[in-house]
Chain A
């Protein structure tokens, strides 16, 4: 999959590039408005990560340009501004998602995967994970034909870990994703642990092929054989 990062801060740009390349994406980059427009008009990408605050122009203008050219490249807006109006304009101009900085790489990863799946498979396909299948649209996990009957939180945890499968997901990233912005302030993440315990129990039938590992002090990893 080919990804374009449009971001003016070089350290952040290279950090994202590195992280995505570790997930076997092909990554190109642009550091300002002109470079971005150039790349975008010349090439097509599976997903464009767009920072709104660029030297030389606004990211929203790039979106407009894409719309004018009737392109359907996926776009995820990354912005430090966290402003509602930008969010709304961005989504109205055809962006697929909006992620506020600072974000966990695992969050970016998950969103990227979601966006890619949505477009390419129209969201109807199942994501296979070992002996399990993740049905994002209906919010269920299937073992063969059997629905594992995950509750809301368990499903959110499972899907997040799955979208980052075989990668370590930080505890706080998980907490933020599943419980929302206000939960990452807990002193410990005990409440995650009890949900994970329940989740593991329900995943038992498929334990030979897919498991959730705890990494000491850091977080969790869903491994698929």
Chain B
């Protein structure tokens, strides 16, 4: 749930409680006020009636609720003297509404010319039901209006206030460590956002630094390895020339040379990979894909013939790529070589060049490879492989450098697609 609406959730609950309690208190207060007011009125009427009684005692006979709002009865002295004023609620029938309506009633006793009387005065009271209902509607309306206003204010005003946050968030999402570019921080004078921005800037700087150092380290390590490798190979080659070596000794030396060569290849591949990723192959030329494929097919011919693999090339279109020539060669020969190495005896290899896509298909193992894994370093597809497992990772690096797409799929044949 979005932050703005999180706060709204809590606000609305709190408001509900607060407004509810307030409404209740308000209602009680209002009722109290109204009653006080009514009672004042009743007290006033009582005094008026008693005064008129003094002037004209006959009004006692004419009193009654059908004509007046008061009723006068004679009572005994004893009851009168014990009487206290009573204010109470009561129901009376009204002609206009034809129902029992609430009334406020005052019962009081008085004496006039030696006679004792009970005076009952009534006044129409507020209909509590109606009052309550109206109040409730108004409160609910108020509540909703408040909520809607808060929501609107939240979404408009606060969005503006939060915009630096969202800008930063977007930039974080787009950040790519390999580009080694610092994040641009949005201007803001909100303290918390400033602090986050500063922290992000530091973090990014550290990350980039770390990344660059690691790359540098790999590159240096690889370089350092070249020399001892070269020296070892050289010494072994001299050893292999010694007179009087037995076949077994020769074979062993040959194997060690082979193993060392493999280390050398791995090293070169790693070096190539780091160079590609640190963008050292900047020179680009227009390279004709058809020409490269032709050259590679020729180069790999002997290799393919060994496994009796038929190679076919279909140049539907002419494509020219703006790419570093060395990298172009590495890219296509990696794909081609893979297609031969992982092929079966008597299999086939087909290259198709379309207007924006090059497809290399080969026969081979009858199960699909995992597209996720094969492009990662050191994942080796297939059984036999003295490959370094890095070939496809290099291929992918190159395609990423130029924003090409590299895809794989399997439908009985293994297909690699290069989309440019």
Q: Which residues of B contact A113 (CB under 8 A)?
A: none
Contact B247 A217, beta carbon cutoff 8 Å = yes
Contact B238 A19, beta carbon cutoff 8 Å = yes
A11 contacts chain B at the CB level, 8 A cutoff: yes
Contact B223 A80, beta carbon cutoff 8 Å = yes
**Contacting chain A: which of B16-24, B183-191, B229-237?**
B229-237
Contact B265 A11, beta carbon cutoff 8 Å = no
A218 contacts chain B at the CB level, 8 A cutoff: yes
A217 to B245, CA, bound (A): 11
Contact B251 A19, beta carbon cutoff 8 Å = no
Decide yes or no: A215 and B384 within 8 Å by CB, A9-B227, A191-B305 being known contacts: no
Contact of A184 among B233, B261, B271, B326 (CB under 8 A): B261
> A-B pairs with CB below 8 Å: how many?
110
Q: Which residues of B contact A102 (CB under 8 A)?
A: 226-227, 229-230, 233, 264
**Contacting chain A: which of B57-65, B154-162, B252-260, B399-407?**
B252-260
Q: Which residues of A contact B386 (CB under 8 A)?
A: 185-187
Contact B228 A168, beta carbon cutoff 8 Å = no
Contact A105 B247, beta carbon cutoff 8 Å = no
Decide yes or no: A185 and B230 within 8 Å by CB, A191-B302, A218-B240, A218-B250 being known contacts: no
A170 to B288, CA, bound (A): 35
Decide yes or no: A172 and B257 within 8 Å by CB, A185-B386, A186-B303 being known contacts: yes
**Which range contains the number of A residues in contact with the other chain?**
35 or more
Contact B303 A103, beta carbon cutoff 8 Å = no
Within 8 A of A (CB), among B206-235: 223, 226-231, 233-235
B241 contacts chain A at the CB level, 8 A cutoff: yes
A119 contacts chain B at the CB level, 8 A cutoff: no
Contact A184 B265, beta carbon cutoff 8 Å = yes
Contact A215 B227, beta carbon cutoff 8 Å = no
Contact A172 B240, beta carbon cutoff 8 Å = no
A180 to B326, CA, bound (A): 13
Determine chain B's interface SS by DSSP, over half rule.
Answer: helix
A190 to B255, CA, bound (A): 16
Contact B302 A103, beta carbon cutoff 8 Å = no
A195 contacts chain B at the CB level, 8 A cutoff: yes
A194 to B305, CA, bound (A): 10
Contact of B306 among A11, A191, A216 (CB under 8 A): A191
Q: Which residues of B contact A80 (CB under 8 A)?
A: 223, 226-227
Determine chain A's interface SS by DSSP, over half rule.
Answer: helix
Q: Which residues of B contact A84 (CB under 8 A)?
A: 283, 326
A25 contacts chain B at the CB level, 8 A cutoff: no
Contact of A185 among B228, B229, B238, B387 (CB under 8 A): B387
Contact B387 A217, beta carbon cutoff 8 Å = no
A16 contacts chain B at the CB level, 8 A cutoff: yes
A43 to B131, CA, bound (A): 120
Across the two chains, which residue of chain A brings its CB closest to B261?
A: A172
Tell me the smallest distance from the CB of A181 to a CB of chain B, in Å: 8
Contact B302 A106, beta carbon cutoff 8 Å = no
Decide yes or no: A167 and B241 within 8 Å by CB, A216-B247, A217-B254, A217-B255 being known contacts: yes
B315 contacts chain A at the CB level, 8 A cutoff: no
Q: Which residues of A contact B265 (CB under 8 A)?
A: 184-185
Tell me the smallest distance from the CB of A140 to a CB of chain B, in Å: 20
Tell me the smallest distance from the CB of A113 to a CB of chain B, in Å: 16
Q: Which residues of B contact A187 (CB under 8 A)?
A: 384, 386
Query: Residues of A at under 8 Å CB distance from B?
Result: 9, 11-12, 15-16, 18-19, 22, 80, 82-84, 101-106, 153, 167-168, 170-173, 179-180, 182-187, 190-191, 194-195, 215-219
Query: Residues of B at under 8 Å CB distance from A?
Result: 223, 226-231, 233-235, 237-238, 240-241, 247, 250-255, 257-258, 261, 264-265, 271, 280, 283, 299-300, 302-303, 305-306, 326, 333, 337, 341, 384, 386-388
Sample (6) of A-B pairs whose CB atoms are under 8 Å apart: A15-B231, A15-B238, A170-B257, A185-B341, A185-B386, A219-B254
> What are the nearest 7 A-B pairs in CB distance?
A217-B251, A102-B230, A217-B254, A15-B234, A191-B302, A218-B254, A216-B247
